[in-house]
Amino acid sequence: MAKPNPQDRYYSRDHEWLIYYSDGTALIGITDYAQEMLTDIVFVDLPEIGRRVVQHATVAVVESVKSVSDVFAPVSGEVIEVNSRLEETPELINQDAFGEGWIVKMIVEDPEELNMLLTAADYEEMLNEEKE
């Protein structure tokens, strides 16, 4: 069973999460549900610092033994930090998708885009609908 989805952040329909900080930056990762679907994550392709991505564009790639999955930027912005621990220990995402397994930190270009994201409750509702 997936861990509960924390209330302190936004969610995307593509199973990313985003924590928005008061300094205009955001931490981004994939949800516990997503890591459960991917199972054994063995490689994470991280972007270069300074890369600018638009909303819904690929910001990182997560690979399990069998599959290759894009991580889409929930909002537009510039990558200012990556979780370089994932280079040696990609399984951090499996172990702690909402915490230690974060993927990138970005400067949010347009906070208005956050309005297009889901709350934890909306995201859970979406998951329940998918299951049905």
Partner 1 sequence: MKQTPLYEKHVGLNAKIIDFGGWAMPVQYTNVIDEHRTTRSAAGLFDICHMGEIEVKGPQALDLLQLVLTRDLAEQKSGQVKLSALLNDAGGIIDDLTVYKMEENSYLLVTNAVPKDRDLGWIKSIQEKRGFDCVLQDITEQTGKLDLQGPRAEEILQKFSAADLKALRFYHFCKTHVAGFEAIVSRSGYTGEDGFEIYVRSNVVGQLWDKLLSAGAAVGLKPCGLGARDTLRLEAGMMLNGQDMDETTSPLEVPYGWIVDEQKEFIGKAALTAKKKSGLTKKLVGIEMIGRGIARHGYKIFQNEREVGVVTSGTFSPTLNKAIAMGFVDAACSAPDTPLEIAVRENRTAAKVVKLPFYKRLK
CB of 48 to partner 1, least distance (A): 11
Residues 6+ away with beta carbon under 8 Å from 23: none
Q: Which of residues 72-111 bind partner 1 (CB under 8 A)?
A: 87
CB of 44 to partner 1, least distance (A): 9
CB of 120 to partner 1, least distance (A): 26
> Which region among 42-50, 72-80, 96-104, 109-117 touches partner 1 (by CB under 8 A)?
42-50
> Does 121 help bind partner 1 (rule: CB under 8 A)?
no
Among 3, 14, 51, 61, binds partner 1 (CB under 8 A): 61
